[in-house]
Amino acid sequence: MPQAEKCLQCHDRQISPADALLAHSMPHSELLQRTQAISAENSSDLLSIPNRSANQDLQCAQCHREHHGRNFDLATVDNVQCQTCHAAQFESFAHGHPEFERLAQPVSGGLPFDHLRHLHKHFVEKKQEFQCAMCHQVGSNGVVVKTVSYAQSCAGCHDAGIRVALGSGLDIVSLPVLDLEAFTKVGVRLDGWPESLTGDFDGRISLSTRLLLAADPQVRRALNVLGKDGDFARVDATDTDQVRQAAVVASGLVQFVRGLSTNARTALMERSSNPAPAALIRVVPQTWWQDTLLQWFPDDFPQVLGLDSAAGTAADAKSEVADVSTRGTLSQSNSGEWVRDNEKQSITYLPNGHADPWVRAWLETVASQYVHDTEMLTAVNRSAEGIACLECHPIHGNAINWGTSNAAPKVIAGFTKFRHEPHLVQPHLRDCTACHQLKLPAEPELTSTVGNVLPQVDISHPIGTEASEFHPLRKETCVGCHTPTGAGDGCIQCHRYHIGNPVAP
């Protein structure tokens, strides 16, 4: 049995045996593809391997030499061994190694954070000092935490904005004033509509209601007559087509309210691709929704629920929910508050602040259901819940970026490796700005509101463009310590050799 096969009998969980003896444990075609891609960006030719056949195996013993004593590290590979295959060779890390042209990459998977806007606008306005350690802290195990919790780093400023944006609540259902006479002229009857809401077309139906009604293609088309703000005041009572379209919307709205009163969960599930809102709404007693129909459509109530008389059910409903004047309020311990206003004929949800479960479920529904509808997504971004949530938690594809990993950001997957922990023992490196420096354009100076002189910077760029915010890491930052007699300048300190996919972690 060849010696390499004997090695792989034990090391097969760290290295895939199929690729173990290939250069960098990677199929030659993939290695060549990476080489060509990097060579197009990098003037150096370090990654080309002209002196070795694509089909020639590299035996384990070519790099890992045994019989050098008990304390010898078999994984140690000197720089000469690494450069054997590389066409472009250099003297040392300090002399000849190229700059880190590809090292500064956007960090994916986390929340977008605009460092420049916070540094030169938000923190200036709050008269606070911008410190990296407010978010990026070193854990007890020495690992750099990418971000701390919302409560620790964000709540002090963002809670106030969320309260303002969501303070009036989210109108889940709101009934407009309808011109029933105009409906009659075009041959449409809307039985049971409240007399108090009969007159000239007026009033808006909420964005939440419009999105739910739009699940019906016919209603979705008819909603265009109300404009982007869903306002019945836009309907021209003398225009037959507009009146007919308004009647389609009104009929859909009545059916939705009736559905809530009959079975609220089913009504939501029929109009939503996401089951979360229906699951959350089950905390509201069904009698509360029945009482809503009784208050708003008293003549329609018995027929909808299949009752002979509404009196008994009305009493039961009011025993479940206490009405304060015209406001029927229902509080929940794990979410916000549901409020029914019988005077305005509206149902409003009052969120409990950041990370409210209903708001989260609702926005997830919108993201998944209207991923290809630019107009709907634009309306949501401009809504109260959009202003409160989507600037920091943007919609990507059909999902919303809600969270961030606490793991330290990786520099480059594959050849390059880096760990913050051993570097933080150096006092001057404990300050993030020793390596991570924000780009500050050379513009005229600007005196801030706290009296400090700051460079004029462009803070209008898109949020989350992390790669554009920071200067690339420079080799000169590292060469001061990484010398043969200092921290070491071996290739394998920063580069992996076996980068093929491992069989197991």
Say which range, 66-75, 147-156, 357-366, has the weakest mean pLDDT: 66-75
The reported pLDDT for the residue numbered 403 is 75
Contact 496, 415 (CB under 8 A): yes
Q: Where are the alpha helices (DSSP H) in 179-239?
A: 180-185, 207-213, 217-222
Read off the pLDDT of each residue in 5-21 and give the average, rounded to a whole number.
83
Higher pLDDT, 260 or 178: 178
Task: Tally Cβ neighbours within 10 Å of residue 193.
Answer: 20
- How much is the pTM? 0.70
455 pLDDT more than 90: no
Read off the pLDDT of each residue in 275-285 and give the average, rounded to a whole number.
78
Say which range, 135-139, 274-278, 327-331, has the weakest mean pLDDT: 327-331
Sheet with 337-341, edge to edge strand ranges: 170-174, 346-350, 337-341, 327-331, 323-324
User: pLDDT tens digit string along 192-228?
Assistant: 888 889 999 999 998 889 988 988 999 999 999 999 8
Q: How confident is the model at residue 448 (pLDDT cuts 50, 70, 90)?
A: very low
Torsion of CA 454, 456, 461, 467, to 10 degrees: -60
Task: Tally Cβ neighbours within 10 Å of residue 194.
Answer: 16
What integer best gives the mean pLDDT of the chain? Answer: 78
Say which range, 68-77, 236-245, 310-319, 340-349, has the weakest mean pLDDT: 310-319
Element of type H or E holding 348? strand 346-350
Higher pLDDT, 326 or 389: 389
493 pLDDT more than 50: yes
User: pLDDT tens digit string along 404-415?
Assistant: 555 444 444 467
C-alpha to C-alpha distance for 215 and 365, rounded to whole angstroms: 12
- 150's tokens: 């919302």
C-alpha to C-alpha distance for 14 and 389, rounded to whole angstroms: 43
C-alpha to C-alpha distance for 149 and 138, rounded to whole angstroms: 14
The reported pLDDT for the residue numbered 158 is 92
460 pLDDT more than 50: no
304 pLDDT more than 60: no
302 pLDDT more than 80: no
CA-closest candidate to residue 117, choices 133, 130, 135: 130
The reported pLDDT for the residue numbered 331 is 52
Say which range, 387-401, 451-465, 475-489, has the weakest mean pLDDT: 451-465
Handedness of CA 419, 422, 424, 427 (dihedral sign): negative
Beta bridge partners of 138: 144
